[in-house]
Structure 1
Amino acid sequence: MFFGPFKFPKTCTRQIDKVNLHSKIRIIIKNLNTLKTNLLKLLFILFPVVLLAQTVKEKEVNHQFQTWASLNTVTKFSEHWGIAADAHLRTNDFFQDNNFFFLRGGLAYIPNSKFSFTAGYAHMWLAPKITEWSTFSDENRMYQQVQMNTKSGNLSILQRIRNEQRWQEIIVNDVETGKNKFSNRVRYLISTTIPIFKNKKAPSLVLSDELLIQFGKDIVYNTFDQNRFFVGIKQSINPKLSYDFGYMNVYQQKSNGYQYDMNHTLRLFFYMNSSVAPTKK
């Protein structure tokens, strides 16, 4: 018996088409709702970013010209122990205005010629930045550091990690408030001395860079504190005394996060190593 192809009645076909249409409409509505939800989520995420972009101030860089001089000493009183002490003077506009005075001292343990470990205390007198003010801000500082001296071929490489706890006095309207801002600052220095003449008494080229970052309750916008890049010459005056002289670029972020100081600095540092330890017989 032969059966031809089965055909739905027209009424059934219309019902199936309606069901398919309703399913498609439900799917479209569901997709639109999903899209709407995703767009709302995206707007919720982007709105604070757009608002922040509208409120953040444009970056400002203030260029300054400074002079920085210092004496850095290490005096050994035994085979492995010594006193590290240094004094600094930094001025603005090439000795025209004071920037800061700084003294630092510490006890150093020197196990060999490659390593030294130092801990101590430092004090800074920071001059006011507002011309009409006269009150200096005091900073008390504790520090700990590790220094490593190595050689690679004819290059001398100095690396130093220093950790500082800083209590910076807060001055308001040229008046001492009796309050301090505390922060912890970590510094990493790498310095390379490159001989450029065969004569050992001739100057060598020095390249160094130091990165300083800070942390604390009052450090909100400037975890990056500053970077110090130096290029210059280094020369020995005698076996105990040497100096370096050159250009240092100090790029420092201010506490508000959008202002920076670009300090173009003429630097002259002296280094003295001596010993008062009793000589071995």
Structure 2
Amino acid sequence: MKIRLAVKNTRYLKFILFFYYLCLFNSEYQAVAQASSAPAKIFTEQYRAWWGYMTTARISKKLSIWNDFHFVGQTFTVLRTGLMTHLTDNTTFTAGYGYLILPISVNGNLLNRKEHRPWVQLQTSSPLHKNIQLTNRIRYDFRNVQRVVNWELSEEYVSYHRLRFLVSFRYRFHKLKWKEGTPFINLADEVLLNFGREILYNQFDQNRISLTTGIQFKNLVFQTGYMYRFVQQSAGNHFINNHLWIIWANHTINLTKKDANK
């Protein structure tokens, strides 16, 4: 099967990939450089399941309400909401707030730290072929994480910034319809970078690489698969190899439709 890409989409793809991998190379280079001056590197293996349910409720031609819930046992719980503006058919800008619980083991005790996270993101998609969709997302998080003092949670919070760069490729099998749904496979990679006065050793935060398969209906998408999440801890020399089984659902709701009985 031959796949021919439009010239304008090829240029867009080259620009996105160059920008993305420039960030990835620079961030991982910094992680290695920082770790080389720190004590011996420590690696921890973790195996988890990531449950996620995301909704987008269309309230007008230009606006939608974003809500999502994520849970990874002993790692994080995320409740996030936002207002999405549809700039074009393929580009959206979203601003919102997230509340998180971040379990951490301190001196043998499990502490559930809180986080308050205002966030904004710009997301765009571009068809590279009738079966292939490229999605690119840039997200900014303003993280306010509860501080641990003397082995206990305090009322103080530490604040810093994070940038996230996501590139995703989705291939749809249009000839393999199943109950009005279209199967697909999805390959994605996201780089997360920290910055701020509180960040000393982990400007590189983490890298997330995932390969999933799923089925897309008109207003509902199910997907499952594997994610490798490589995380550098704040000490600089502690790294986590996180192996995740993903179970996600995306639900699109149209609230602009008029009641047919009226």
- Asked if Structure 1 and Structure 2 have the same fold, meaning a TM-score greater than 0.5 normalized by the shorter chain, the answer is yes
Report which of the two structures shows the higher radius of gyration computed on alpha carbons.
Answer: 1
The C-alpha deviation readout for 1:48-101, integer Å capped at 9, x for no partner, is: xxxx9996322221111011011011101111101000011101xxxxxx3221
State the match for 1:37 in structure 2: none
How do 1:164-179 residues align onto structure 2 when only pairs under 5 Å count? 164-179=141-156
More strand by share: 2
Change (3 A) 1:53 1:65: closer
1:89 and 1:247 mapped to 2: Cα distance? 15
Within the alignment, does 1:138 sit opposite 2:138 as a pair? no
Kept after mapping to 2: 8 A contact 1:135/1:174? no
1:169 and 1:210 mapped to 2: Cα distance? 25
Alignment partner of 1:117 out of 90, 93, 115: 93
State the match for 2:172 in structure 1: 195
Alignment partner of 2:133 out of 141, 156, 161: 156
1:67 and 1:131 mapped to 2: Cα distance? 25
What are the ranges of 5 or more consecutive residues in structure 1 without an aligned counterpart?
A: 1-51, 92-97
Q: Which amino acid aligns with 1:198?
A: K
How do 1:1-281 residues align onto structure 2 when only pairs under 5 Å count? 56-91=38-73, 98-130=74-106, 132-153=108-129, 154-196=131-173, 198-200=175-177, 201-236=181-216, 238-279=217-258
The C-alpha deviation readout for 1:12-61, integer Å capped at 9, x for no partner, is: xxxxxxxxxxxxxxxxxxxxxxxxxxxxxxxxxxxxxxxx9996322221
Q: Which amino acid aligns with 1:162?
A: R
Change (3 A) 1:203 1:131: farther
What's the secondary structure of 2:105's corresponding residue?
coil
Kept after mapping to 2: 8 A contact 1:78/1:278? no
**What root-mean-square deviation, in Å, do the aligned CA atoms of Structure 1 and Structure 2 show?**
2.2
What are the ranges of 5 or more consecutive residues in structure 2 without an aligned counterpart?
A: 1-33
Sequence identity (%): 27
More helix by share: 1
Q: Which amino acid aligns with 1:203?
A: P
The C-alpha deviation readout for 1:85-128, integer Å capped at 9, x for no partner, is: 0011101xxxxxx3221100001101332011100100101112
Q: Which amino acid aligns with 2:108?
A: E
1:268 and 1:234 mapped to 2: Cα distance? 10
2:196 and 2:186 mapped to 1: Cα distance? 33
Count of residues in correspondence between the two structures? 223
Kept after mapping to 2: 8 A contact 1:205/1:233? yes
What's the secondary structure of 2:109's corresponding residue?
coil
Structure 1 ranges of 4+ moved more than 4 A? 52-55, 278-281
Change (3 A) 1:197 1:61: farther
